[in-house]
Amino acid sequence: MLNLRLPTIETDQFILRPIQVEDAKDMFEYAGDAENLQFVWFPRHSDPESSKKSIEDFFLTRVDRGIPEAYCVVIKPEMKMIGTVDVHTVRFGDVGEIGYIINKRYWNRGIVSEAVQILISVMFHHCGFSRIEIQHNAENIGSGRVIEKAGFIKEGTYRKRKYEPELGHRSDYHFYAINLDDKIVEERYSKEHYENTIRTKIRP
């Protein structure tokens, strides 16, 4: 049985907490921007009301659908919600797939890398996942770097998997995973690391 409620975690740069309806305005800033959405699979939001509806229908229904609450990133010191780093799919009871998007004004500051690595620890040692999967469009270099830096192991490539309207062609997708008994877990995502490092950042 997975633990689907997530702890709020604070780092030097940001707070990771479950998303809420009040985040709609901040979400619209990136979800309404075509450049920000180039490699994601949902259509551009037309107004803050569509962001609110997406939070209500897509994110806040997660626990009812057997998926962990969705983490969003709240940047300090502005305390603005700048994106989501979350488990969007659960398969076979204990396999979770991660996705992410961050407001383009905050790209390349290491934010998603740090958030993904925290989420991996939380998924293994708080939620109870045994395997974590992730995929990216082969042309999305930044996402590939995030995945590589987190220590995911590449398992294959789906060739010309999806037609990308923005790119005007079909793209390859690379697939990766980390299993609970992989060496990388012992090295970087151990239970001890979770207890001694991540848990100390949990806000009451």
Binding site for ligand COA (CB under 6 A): 36, 39-40, 100-102, 107-113, 136, 140-143, 145-146
Taking the complex as a whole, how short is the minimal distance between the CB of residue 30 and ligand COA, in angstroms?
A: 8
Q: Say whether 19 sits in a helix, a strand or coil.
A: coil
CB of 114 to ligand COA, least distance (A): 7
Of the two residues 106 and 194, which places its CB atom closer to ligand COA in the complex?
A: 106
Q: Which residues contact 154 (CB under 8 A, 6 or more apart)?
A: 174, 175, 176
Alpha helices in 123-182 (DSSP H): 141-150
Q: Which helix (H) or strand (E) holds 174?
A: strand 169-179
The least CB distance from residue 100 to ligand COA, in Å, is 5
CB of 4 to ligand COA, least distance (A): 23
Which of 148, 195 has the CB closer to ligand COA?
148
Rank residues 1 and 34 by Cβ distance to ligand COA and give the closer one. Answer: 34
Dist CA 204 CA 200 (whole Å): 10
Comparing CB distances to ligand COA, the nearer of 138 and 202 is 138
Which residue's CB is nearer to ligand COA, number 3 or number 172?
Answer: 172
- The verdict on whether omega for the bond into residue 48 sits within 30 degrees of 0, i.e. cis, is no
**Nearest residue to 151 via CA among 177, 125, 119, 131:** 177
- Amino acid at position 183, single letter: K
Q: What's the closest the beta carbon of residue 204 comes to ligand COA, in angstroms? A: 27
Q: How far apart are CA 204 and CA 7, in angstroms?
A: 9
Report the candidate in 90, 82, 85 with the shortest Cα–Cα distance to residue 128: 90
